[in-house]
Amino acid sequence: MKRIALIADGWKRWMLYAFPYGLLECIRDRGVDVSIDHYNCFGNWNEDRDYNAGEYAVFNSIDLSLYDGIVTDLSNVKDAKTFENIIRPLRESGLPVINLNAAREGEERADNIYYVGTDNESAILEMMNHMYDVHGCRKFVFLGGPADHMDNIIRRNTFEAFIKDKGLTLSKDDILDSDFDYHAGIGYMNKWVEEKRPFP
């Protein structure tokens, strides 16, 4: 039997069920003998850095020698140093690692880490073209994730290229990098309303 460690941060409810369920369905479909150990924490849900460090410490307890492979979803890890502290031992283990949606710009690449992510460019273009063509939108604001997160970089670059291609105007106040937490969206919207800024 092969063993896989599933390492995830900041997901709850449905996502905690969906990840292992999807992996198990894939394993069953292929008729292979694999077990999954799921390690999850909530290291990005608290403003207390010591609390968050304690949450992330669960990943330090993983004995990587017990595993044949690793699947990670660390897309909710906000701090680049924390991300590196989690990914470094995985990189050094030499085990095959599938890294879901969590590449960082400038991140050292390793032969054993395989990035699997979203087609961000197509998704952003489809949404923006729809808003532009169907709804007549001519003013856009980008609210994204961490500035150094690869998914966010691709989305932001695609957003900016669309604006330029259409000859629209864009100010620095129209690009809002934050994190992927829903509180960020609520905070920006509240600030937008308080400042009586016009909606795009």
From the list 69, 82, 110, the residue with the least C-alpha distance to 10 is 82
CB 59 within 8 Å of CB 88? no
Q: Do both 139 and 154 map to the same domain? A: yes
The pLDDT of residue 44 is above 80? no
Work out the angle at residue 136's Cα, subtended by the Cα atoms of residues 130 and 138, and round it to the nearest 5 degrees: 100
Q: Do both 144 and 102 map to the same domain? A: no
- For residue 101, give the CATH number of its domain: 3.40.50.2300
- C-alpha span between 82 and 98 (Å, rounded): 18
The pLDDT of residue 20 is above 70? yes
Q: Do both 128 and 107 map to the same domain? A: no
Average pLDDT over residues 37-54: 85
Q: Do both 30 and 109 map to the same domain? A: yes
The pLDDT of residue 83 is above 80? yes
- Whether 112 is in a domain gets the answer yes
Average pLDDT over residues 21-37: 92
Confidence of residue 110 (pLDDT cuts 50, 70, 90): low
Domains in the chain: how many in total? Answer: 2
| Last-in-domain residue among 61, 86, 116 | 116
Q: Do both 70 and 130 map to the same domain? A: no
- Whether 199 is in a domain gets the answer no
Q: Do both 112 and 125 map to the same domain? A: no
Q: Where in the sequence is the domain holding 73, given as residue range(s)? A: 2-116
| Last-in-domain residue among 97, 116, 135 | 116
Q: Do both 9 and 39 map to the same domain? A: yes
Q: Do both 95 and 152 map to the same domain? A: no
| Last-in-domain residue among 65, 98, 116 | 116
CB 156 within 8 Å of CB 121? no
Q: Give the CA count within 13 Å in the CB-facing half-sphere of 52.
A: 16
Q: Do both 59 and 75 map to the same domain? A: yes
Q: Do both 6 and 102 map to the same domain? A: yes
Average pLDDT over residues 113-138: 92
The pTM score is 0.69
Token output for 113? 């880490």
Average pLDDT over residues 26-35: 94
Whole-number average pLDDT of the chain: 87
Cβ atoms within 10 Å, residue 53: 13
